[in-house]
Amino acid sequence: MEKQTITIYDVAREANVSMATVSRVVNGNPNVKPATRKKVLEVIDRLDYRPNAVARGLASKKTTTVGVIIPDVSNIFFSSLARGIDDVATMYKYNIVLANSDGNDQKEVSVLNTLLAKQVDGIIFMGHHITDEIRGEFSRSKTPVVLAGSIDPDEQVGSVNIDYKNATKDAVDVLAKNGNKKIAFVSGALIDPINGQNRLKGYKDALSENGLTYNEGLVFEAPYNFKDGEQLAARIRNSGATAVYVSDDELAIGILDGMLDAGVKVPEEFEIITSNNSLLTDVARPRLSSITQPLYDIGAVAMRLLTKMMNKEEVEEKTIILPYGIERKGSTK
C-alpha cells in the first residue's frame, strides 16, 4: 500500500493549532510559544512530516534552490569547486541542482533553461566561455548569476577566479629560468577567454621578458582529458620543445605519461608545469609542479557572492580575484 503524503493540514489538525502556527514552527519563526512549538515538533516527528519545498517556493516566490552548471563533473577541477559551492549552500540553507553541460554551447543553453524552468533562485555557471547566446539568456532571465573559474571579459556577470594571466606568466617564467629555450603552451580551446586572452597573454609576456621568441608551432589546443594529453605528447616532442605549460592537471598527466612511455626522462630531459594543483598532481610520479589556486575557495566564495545577490544585499565587488602561488615538485628542475 502506497504511503500517504502527510500535509501541513494533517499536522495542524493533530496538534490542534492553525496551519499558520505550523508554518511558523517549520520556518523557525520565534513568535511561537515554547510549549506550542514543542507540541508541533512532536507531531511533525511522529507523522514524519516533510515540508513541500515546491509549495513553500510558490508561497514565498523563492525555492531556496541554486542551479550549478558544470562542464564535466568527472574533472577534479570542477568537482573541487562544486564541493566549495555545496558547503556554503548548505550553510545558507540552499539546495543545489547540479547539471552537466559537457562544455557544449547548445547544451549549456538547454541546461540553463531547464534550471530556470525549475524556478531556481540563482545560477553558478562553470562553462568554458560565455557565448552571446548564453549571455542573452542570463540577462533575459533576471535570475542572479555568478561565474566560478570562468571569465566574463565584459565583467557584466559576477565572477570568482585567480589572475590567470599573471599565474601563467609566473609558471612559464620558472621553465624559462631553468634554461628552456622552447616552451610549449597547451590549453583548452583558445576561444575561451581564460585560455585565448589571459593564459596565452601570460605565456607571451613570460617569453618576451626572458628574451624568447613566440612561435605558434608551440601552441596546442586539446580537450581536458588524459587520453588527449597522452596522444599530444609526441606532437609536443616533435615540435622541439623541452618544457610545457599545461592548463589542466588531467591533460598534464596524459602528457607526462606519453613522455615517459617514449623513454623521455622528466624532469631531466623534459619539464612540465600544470595549473590547478589538484590531488592529481600529487598522485603522478614524478609529482607535477603547478600553479596553486584555491579551488574549494573559488566555489565557496562564488556561492557566498550569489547568496548576497539573491538576497539583494549590497555587493561591493562583482569580480573577485583570489590569490595563487607556484609549487615546484618533481616535474621541474
Amino acid 313 reads E
Where are the chain's structural domains? 8-51, 65-162+295-325, 164-292
> Which CATH topology does 65-162+295-325 take?
Rossmann fold (3.40.50)
Q: Cell digits for 187?
A: 590549453
How far is the CA of 15 from the CAs of 29, 45, 173, 312, in angstroms?
A: 17, 12, 70, 37
Identify the CATH assignment for 164-292 out of 2.40.50.140, 3.40.50.920, 3.40.50.300, 3.40.50.2300. 3.40.50.2300
* Contact by Cβ (8 Å): 72, 47: no
* Contact by Cβ (8 Å): 200, 185: yes
Superfamily for the 8-51 domain:
lambda repressor-like DNA-binding domains (1.10.260.40)
Q: Is the peptide bond before 267 cis (omega within 30 degrees of 0)?
A: yes
Same topology between domain 8-51 and domain 65-162+295-325: no
Per-residue pLDDT tens digits of the chain, which is 333 residues long: 344 678 888 899 999 999 889 888 877 777 889 899 899 989 988 888 876 655 555 455 577 899 999 988 888 888 899 999 999 999 999 999 999 888 788 888 889 988 888 889 999 999 777 888 888 888 888 899 999 998 888 888 899 999 999 999 999 999 999 999 999 999 999 988 899 999 999 999 999 999 999 999 999 999 999 999 999 999 999 999 999 999 999 999 999 999 999 999 999 999 999 999 999 999 999 999 999 999 999 999 999 999 999 988 888 889 999 999 999 999 999
**What is the model's pLDDT at position 1?**
39
Amino acid 91 reads M
